[in-house]
Amino acid sequence: MPTQDPDLSAGDAPPKPAPVKPLRLLLVDDQRAFQVMMKAMLQNIGINRINFANSAEEARRRCLKESFDIYLFDYDLGGGENGRQLLESLRDKGLIPPQSVVIMVSSDSSRAMVLSALEVEPDEYLMKPFSQEQFKFRLRRALARRQALESVFRALAEDKPEQLIRACAERADAIPRFANFCRCLQADTQLRLGQAREARSLMRQLLAGQENGWARLTLGKACHTLGLNEEAVSHLQATLKHNPLMVEAYLWLAEAQLALGEEESAQRELKRAVEISPQSVLLSRRLAEICLQRHDYAQARDVLLTLIDLSRNSIHRTPHYLGAYIQCLTLYALNSNDGYHIANLQKQVNSALSRIRDSLMVSEFNYPVFEQICQARVQVALGQLIKGKKMLYRANQHWLDQPANMPVALLGETVLALYQLGEFEYAESLQDHLAEDEDRLLTICIQATRNDKTVQERRQRYQQLNELGIKAYQGGEFEQALTHFREALRRAPANTGAALNKIQVLLKLIEKHRKSPDFPNECKETLAMLDGIPLNPAQQERFRKLRQEFTQSQ
pLDDT digits (tens, 9 = 90+) for 266-290: 999 999 999 999 999 999 999 999 9
| Mean pLDDT within 234-257 | 97
Whole-angstrom distance, CA of residue 229 vs CA of residue 94? 36
Which of the given ranges, 128-142, 393-407, 421-435, 444-458, has the highest pLDDT on average?
A: 128-142
**Are 447 and 473 in the same domain?**
no
- The reply to whether 546 falls in a domain is yes
Q: What is the pLDDT of residue 42?
A: 96
Q: What is the pLDDT of residue 363?
A: 66
Name which residue leads in pLDDT, 77 or 439: 77
Domain boundary among 425, 451, 477: 451
Could you give the percent of the chain with pLDDT greater than 70?
Answer: 95
- The reply to whether 182 falls in a domain is no
Residues 6+ apart with CB under 8 A from 129: 107
Q: What is the pLDDT of residue 536?
A: 81
Name which residue leads in pLDDT, 253 or 316: 253
**Are 436 and 471 in the same domain?**
no
The 8-class DSSP code of residue 149 comes to T
Whole-angstrom distance, CA of residue 339 vs CA of residue 463? 27
Whole-angstrom distance, CA of residue 536 vs CA of residue 429? 11
Q: What is the pLDDT of residue 11?
A: 39
Query: Looking at 253-257, 436-440, 492-496, which range is the least confident one?
Result: 436-440
Whole-angstrom distance, CA of residue 510 vs CA of residue 142? 85
pLDDT digits (tens, 9 = 90+) for 335-347: 887 778 888 888 9
Amino acid sitting at position 186: Q
CATH number at residue 127: 3.40.50.2300
Contact 375, 354 (CB under 8 A): no
**Are 43 and 119 in the same domain?**
yes
CATH number at residue 513: 1.25.40.10
Query: Looking at 49-53, 333-337, 428-432, which range is the least confident one?
Result: 333-337
Mean pLDDT of the residues in the chain: 90
pLDDT band at residue 502 under the 50/70/90 scheme: very high
Which of the given ranges, 313-317, 356-360, 369-373, has the highest pLDDT on average?
A: 369-373
**Are 425 and 320 in the same domain?**
yes
Find, among 224, 226, 206, the residue nearest to 215 by Cα: 206
Long-range pairs, 486-490, Cβ under 8 A, ≥24? 488/462
Model pTM? 0.86
**Are 472 and 512 in the same domain?**
yes
Query: Looking at 118-132, 212-226, 528-542, which range is the least confident one?
Result: 528-542
**Are 518 and 409 in the same domain?**
no
DSSP letters, 366-411, are -HHHHHHHHHHHHHHHTT-HHHHHHHHHHHTTTTTT-GGGS-HHHH
Amino acid sitting at position 27: L
pLDDT digits (tens, 9 = 90+) for 318-361: 888 988 998 998 888 888 877 788 888 889 889 888 888 877 77
- The reply to whether 208 falls in a domain is no
Q: What is the pLDDT of residue 268?
A: 97
- The reply to whether 376 falls in a domain is yes
Residues 6+ apart with CB under 8 A from 17: none
**Are 527 and 391 in the same domain?**
no
- The reply to whether 200 falls in a domain is no
- The reply to whether 159 falls in a domain is no
**Are 495 and 542 in the same domain?**
yes
**Are 432 and 303 in the same domain?**
yes
pLDDT digits (tens, 9 = 90+) for 393-426: 899 888 877 888 888 888 988 999 999 888 898 8
Q: What is the pLDDT of residue 261?
A: 97
**Are 495 and 528 in the same domain?**
yes
pLDDT digits (tens, 9 = 90+) for 154-207: 999 999 999 999 999 999 999 999 999 999 999 999 999 999 999 999 999 999
pLDDT of residue 437 exceeding 80:
no
pLDDT of residue 432 exceeding 90:
no
Whole-angstrom CA distances from 544 to 35, 399, 459, 498 are 70, 20, 27, 16
Domain boundary among 451, 472, 497: 451
Residues 6+ apart with CB under 8 A from 50: 25, 27, 38, 39, 42, 43
- Across the strands, what pairs with 106? 127
**Are 319 and 386 in the same domain?**
yes
- The reply to whether 415 falls in a domain is yes
- The reply to whether 235 falls in a domain is no
Which of the given ranges, 50-59, 344-353, 442-451, 522-531, has the highest pLDDT on average?
A: 50-59
Please report which helix (H) or strand (E) contains residue 51, including its range: strand 49-53
Whole-angstrom distance, CA of residue 183 vs CA of residue 215? 8
pLDDT band at residue 469 under the 50/70/90 scheme: very high
Q: Is the dihedral of CA 322, 324, 329, 330 positive or negative?
A: positive
Domain count, the chain: 3
Could you give the percent of the chain with pLDDT greater than 90?
Answer: 66
pLDDT of residue 14 exceeding 70:
no
Whole-angstrom distance, CA of residue 112 vs CA of residue 308? 18
Question: Would you call 208 exposed, middle or buried from its count of C-beta atoms within 10 A (0-12, 13-18, 19+)?
Answer: exposed
Find, among 481, 478, 457, the residue nearest to 468 by Cα: 481
E-assigned strand segments in 70-176 = 70-74, 101-106, 124-127
Find, among 394, 404, 402, the residue nearest to 369 by Cα: 394
| Mean pLDDT within 371-375 | 92
| Mean pLDDT within 359-378 | 84
**Are 371 and 475 in the same domain?**
no
| Mean pLDDT within 437-446 | 82
Whole-angstrom distance, CA of residue 480 vs CA of residue 476? 9
pLDDT of residue 476 exceeding 60:
yes
Q: Is the dihedral of CA 178, 180, 185, 187 positive or negative?
A: positive
pLDDT of residue 3 exceeding 60:
no
Whole-angstrom distance, CA of residue 99 vs CA of residue 522? 75
pLDDT band at residue 438 under the 50/70/90 scheme: low
Domain boundary among 451, 471, 486: 451
Residue 432 sits in which domain range? 280-451
pLDDT of residue 436 exceeding 70:
no
